[in-house]
Amino acid sequence: MSNQVLPVSEPAPAPEISVVIPVFNEEENLRELGERLIRTLTAMGRPYEIIFVDDGSTDGSWELLTDLNRQYPQNIRALQFHRNFGQHQAIFAGFQASRGQVMVTLDADLQNPPEEIPRLVAKLDEGFDTVGGWRENRQDSIFRRLPSQLVNTVMSRVTGVKLRDYGCMLRAYRRSVVDSINQCQESSSFIPALANLFAQRVAEIPVGHAERERGKSKYGIIKLLRLNFDLMTGFSNLPIHLVGFMGVAIACLGLLFGFMLLLRRIFVGPEVEGVFTLFAILFVFVGLNTLGLALIGEYVGRIYREVRGRPRFVVRQTLGPES
Ligand code: UDP
Ligand code: MG
């Protein structure tokens, strides 16, 4: 034994795993969630931190989080927004505060079982950059599942990353991916899709899904529509392309109609006072108008993309001396 003075308390080891959880009025679920998380993560035997982000809750959530932090000061941290900024902004904030090499996100309502975390992390350790869960046995109503299916198909197309479940928030990310996400300054975004832009190897594994037992869903129909609209407009110009396509289609139909009327005039004679000819001309113009609108939309879309200021590229490795 050396007679060096030992520090009074060992500094906690730097966390390896950071779990980020958005919380909006979930007081009924937090205690059970905290306990199940602590049990699962302790069993994994790697240093971890749990970061709760209170997204402007108006119930007792913050007091419960304060309690949890007092009980497990080394492992549980909490941030509080002063108002409701939305689930994805809460995750952004959690990512910015996180210190681990592996980030895991999940919902606070116990619909995503915390016990699935070791499987996600194990998959990540196989060399993937992000691992998503897909809800094998999704316990939501058909009105929630059908639109999700549409979104999954469209998003898989427009981002070029085929995922079965873009909406599942039980996911794991490598530090490098989260660092890139942290550079994005956009105020409306969708984290799983954003992560796909920065991840090279993406995996998906089936995870369990439970019904929401306590509290109710924070997504009403309007909020859900807005989230999906953010997702579409944030990651593609697909909506405006559809308008452009419609414009071209209307104009073409108008031309075809005009051509038919011309043939009719030659072989049968003119139709009632040329009214339909006028319609044909009108259709062509309406179509061109719509196309014009879509072109303007396309430019606005591009301006929007610039304004978002996402990192335009991510350098994975450099050889030779780095600056
Ligand atoms: N949430 C949030 N801010 C919001 C809406 C939701 O932080 O504005 C959190 C909520 O507390 C939960 C997660 O996001 O942890 C998912 O929300 P919810 O379970 O209501 O969505 P659903 O499962 O119905 O899609
Ligand atoms: Mg839920």
174, 101 in Cβ contact below 8 A? yes
Q: Which of 121-125, 147-151, 305-309 has the lowest mean pLDDT?
A: 305-309
Q: Provide the CATH number for the domain around residue 83.
A: 3.90.550.10
- Model pLDDT, residue 237: 82
pLDDT tens-digit map of 41-79: 999 999 999 999 999 999 999 999 999 999 999 999 999
> What values do phi and psi take at 17, rounded to 5?
-115, 130
Q: In the sheet where 130-135 sits, what is the strand order?
A: 76-80, 48-54, 17-23, 102-105, 171-174, 130-135, 202-207
Same domain, 45 and 193: yes
Is residue 271 situated within a structural domain? yes
Is residue 250 situated within a structural domain? yes
Mean pLDDT of the chain: 89
Dist. CA 45 → ligand 1 center (Å): 29
Is residue 148 situated within a structural domain? yes
Is residue 146 situated within a structural domain? yes
Q: Is 94's pLDDT higher than 50?
A: yes
Domain count, the chain: 2
Dist. CA 218 → ligand 2 center (Å): 8
Residue 72, helix vs strand vs coil: coil
Residues with CB under 6 A from ligand 1: 22-24, 26, 55, 84, 86-87, 90, 107-109, 111, 217-219
Question: Which has more pLDDT, 134 or 276?
Answer: 134
Residue 232, helix vs strand vs coil: helix
Dist. CA 162 → ligand 1 center (Å): 24
pLDDT tens-digit map of 196-254: 999 999 999 999 999 999 999 999 888 888 888 888 888 888 888 888 999 999 999 99
Tell me which residue range forms the domain holding 277: 238-308
**Which atom of ligand 1 sits closest to the CA of residue 106?**
15
- Model pLDDT, residue 312: 66
- Model pLDDT, residue 4: 57
